[in-house]
Structure 1
C-alpha cells in the first residue's frame, strides 16, 4: 500500500478505536476521515453508538450514501432518526455529548487551538474560518478528538498566534503520531509505524518526551477490508 494512504488509514483506525460502544459521537463539516472512523467503530466494536452530524441525521445508512459529503442531505434522508444541529450544542453544554471530532490549524503544548488567524489578530498574515462549532464544543464535550493531516512546526507550535478555544481535548491524531492531553499538557502517546521518533521531534515545535513511547498498531486486515468496502472510491484520501 502507498505509504501516504497507509498514514490516513492508520489515523482513521486510531480514531475508530477511541470510540466506545453506546457513546454519542458528532463530526462537523469536511470530516470524511472521522465520518468513516465512526462507521468503522460502528461495524466492529461499537455497534450501539449514536452518530450525529451537521445535517441532523442519526446513524445514517452509509450504503445509501453515494457522495460522502459530510454535510449533505443524504446524511439526513437516509438516517434512522433526526437530531438537529442546534440540539447537538445544547446536548454538549448539558454534558451529554461523549465525543466530538474537530480540528484546527495551530496547537500548542498547553492545548490551545487556533482556527482564527495566523499572525497578529488585527493585521493577520492569514485570516482563518474561526471557531464556529469548535469554540463551543471543545470546552463542553466530554472528549474532543482532534485530527490534523498536517504535522509540522507551523502546526504544532510553542505558542499559538490566537487562542480560538481550549478545553476537553483527549487526543490529537496526525499522520505521524498520537498526542494525548494529560496533566495540562500534550504528551506523545504513540508513534505510527510509518514514522519515527526523529521525524516526530523534527516536526513538532515544542519539546516532547519520546523515551518509552508506544508504537501505534497498523490497521488490521479486517479494518482495511472494511475501509475498502465502505469507501471504495477513496474519499478518505481527499486531504492528501
Structure 2
C-alpha cells in the first residue's frame, strides 16, 4: 500500500534502499545519515545479508537508538557484529570486493565527473571545498558508486564541472527530483521521483536530458514508512533538508 503522506527525505531514503541488493558489501562515509538509514532499511526489508561498513569500523551496527547518533561516530560500534577499520575498506575496494560506496559532491556534469574541490577557478575559487578525501579512491575502485544529493538545480548539475575531483564507477545519482544513471559515457535520466515531473527535472538541470523512456520511482509504502520510524526515530534522514 502506498502512503501519500511522505517527505522528500522519506522518498529518497526508500529509493536508495531499493537500489541495494541482498549480500552486497556497502560502505558510507562521513555526513551520510540518509544512506546510512537507507542501508538499515534495506537490511530490514529485502537485503538481510547486506554487509554495512562505515568510517568507525562497526560492521552491521544496530538501529539508531540515541539522539547523539552520528554517521561517523562511536555509536556505530553499538551492537555491531565485528570491527573492520577504514584502511581495510580502501584495500577491499581496490581489490574489487566492495560492491557499493555511497559518496557525494557539489557539482556533477553530463560526463559523470564529480567536483568536491572548488567552485570557480582552482587558482582563485569563489568557494574552496574539502576536496575528494576517500572518494578519489573509492569511486574509481568500488563496483558501484551511488551519489546522493539533496539539492537539484542548475548550479549542481552542470554541463562541465569547474574541477574534476574524481570519476570512475559512478552508477546512480539520487536527488529529490530524479535518479540519474551513468551509461555510455554520460548521465541518463533513469527515473523521475513520484513528486516531480519531466518538466521540473529539465528546468533544474544544466545539461540536456537523455532518456530512453519516462519512468517513475515507486512511492514509499506504508511498510517502508513504518519501518523508517522505528529505524530512525530521531529523523536523521532529514538532516540535509
TM-score, structure 2 normalization? 0.95
Q: Is the 8 A contact 1:32 1:68 kept in 2?
A: no
Q: Is the 8 A contact 2:17 2:38 kept in 1?
A: yes
- The 2-side partners of 1:15 and 1:55 are apart by 22
Name the structure, 1 or 2, with higher relative contact order (CA <8 Å, separation 6+).
2
Q: Is the 8 A contact 2:64 2:232 kept in 1?
A: no
Q: CA deviation at 1:9?
A: 1.1
Q: CA deviation at 1:231?
A: 1.3
Q: Is the 8 A contact 2:115 2:164 kept in 1?
A: yes
- The 2-side partners of 1:108 and 1:157 are apart by 5
Query: Which string of whole-angstrom CA distances, capped at 9 and with x for unpartnered residues, describes residues 180-220 of structure 1?
Result: 01111100011111111111001000000357210111011
- The 1-side partners of 2:100 and 2:66 are apart by 23
- The 2-side partners of 1:209 and 1:110 are apart by 12
**Number of equivalent positions:** 239
User: Corresponding residue for 2:100?
Assistant: 99
User: Corresponding residue for 2:205?
Assistant: 204
Structure 1: runs of 5 or more not aligned: none
Specify whether residues 210 and 116 from structure 1 end up closer, same or farther in structure 2 by C-alpha distance, changes over 3 A only: same
Matches within 5 A, 1:40-189: 40-62=41-63, 64-189=65-190
Q: CA deviation at 1:233?
A: 2.0
Moved beyond 3 Å, runs of 4+:
63-66
RMSD value, Cα:
1.5
